[in-house]
Structure 1
Amino acid sequence: MAIVVTFDLENTPAAQELYDTTIDRVTEGRGFASPADLPVPGLLAHIAGPVGDRWRVTDVWESPESFETFAKILGPLLADLGHGDLQPDVSPPHNLVLR
């Protein structure tokens, strides 16, 4: 069962910088243009950007287990960047349509 994972931060230049730095570290500088660029499989969709006064990152993972595998990489990176307390909202989608 797919899950939706959302991180919300106050929309500041530091939030975008945290996102960019995290992506750079997760992909080891290769860039992120496809789910295949991540070091683990299972990402179905990824959106990041400002939403009102928030900086939001929303992922759709094919299963809780696929996100848990990714979280084992992401968690230590966020902690290293001083954001180890950042926790996502995780929920099942009501409806999911992918191309």
Structure 2
Amino acid sequence: MSVVFVHQGPGLTQESYEEAVRRLTGRSRMESPDDWPVPGLLVHVTGQGEHGFRIVDVWESEEAAGRFFEAVAPILDEVGIKNDVESYPAHTFVR
């Protein structure tokens, strides 16, 4: 079952996100699911909202998301992202 993750909170800014992407991939931006270090990403969206910068990911499973978070956690610590992550099973997912 696909799972939705919403990231936001202190330390998560467009600049810190872009720095994390550079450290993770060596690129300035993510453009394809193939850019991720693990398979399973279905959707990745970022943007500035009323309450700060936000990342929304949809993963094919909790296990896939877990593998990604294991890979990215040290980088998030390095760039100072200490964000809250809300997650929930997707009720409906349409491609």
Q: TM-score with structure 2 length normalisation?
A: 0.88
Q: Provide the alpha-carbon RMSD of the alignment.
A: 1.9
Give a deviation string over 1:58-81, Cα, whole Å, max 9, x none: 000000000000001111111112
CA distance 1:19–1:60, shift in 2 (3 Å): same
Tell which has more relative contact order, 1 or 2 (C-alpha 8 A, sep 6+).
2
Q: TM-score with structure 1 length normalisation?
A: 0.85
Given candidates 73, 89, 93, the residue that maps to 2:71 is 73
Give a deviation string over 1:5-31, Cα, whole Å, max 9, x none: 110136x9x711011111111112374
Secondary structure (helix, strand or coil) at the match of 1:88 reads strand
Residue aligning to 2:84 = 87
Structure 1 contact 9–54 (Cα < 8 Å) conserved: yes
Give a deviation string over 1:25-72, Cα, whole Å, max 9, x none: 111237411000111100000000012232110000000000000001
User: Hey, which bits of structure 1, 4+ residues long, moved more than 3 A?
Assistant: none
Q: Tell me which moved more, 26-35 or 37-46.
A: 26-35
Segments of structure 1 that go 5 or more residues without pairing to the other structure are none
Residue aligning to 1:7 = 7
For the residues of structure 1 that align with 2:28 and 2:78, how far apart are their CA atoms?
20
> Given the alignment of the two structures, is residue 61 of structure 1 paired with residue 75 of structure 2, yes or no?
no
Q: Percent identity?
A: 34
* Matched residue count: 95
